[in-house]
């Protein structure tokens, strides 16, 4: 049984094949209108990351 985290914005890094992954909250994805298979840009910013939509 999975323990539910109190804060929906807290995520864990998980193994995905030879890579690592993290899920994003559905509420945020809906507001941004991001969908499965969409390309994103990930940049390191200070001690965090910035994830943004990829524009051609």
Q: Give the integer Cα–Cα distance in Å for 24 and 5.
A: 14
- Which pLDDT score, from 0 to 100, does residue 8 have? 74
- Which pLDDT score, from 0 to 100, does residue 4 have? 62
Q: Give the integer Cα–Cα distance in Å for 32 and 35.
A: 9
Give per-residue pLDDT as tens, 33-42.
999 999 999 9
Give me the torsion for CA of 27, 8, 22, 32, rounded to 10°: 20
Residue percentage of the chain with pLDDT more than 90: 73
pLDDT band at 2, cuts 50/70/90? low
Q: Provide mean pLDDT across the span 2-10.
A: 69
Q: Provide mean pLDDT across the span 19-31.
A: 93
What is the domain partition of the chain in residue ranges?
14-53
């Amino acid at each position: 049984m999975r323990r539910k985290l109190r804060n929906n914005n807290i995520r864990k890094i998980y193994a995905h094949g030879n890579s690592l992954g993290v899920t994003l909250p559905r509420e945020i994805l809906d507001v941004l209108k991001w969908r499965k298979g969409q390309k994103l840009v990930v940049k390191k910013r200070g001690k965090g990351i910035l994830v943004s939509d990829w524009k051609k």
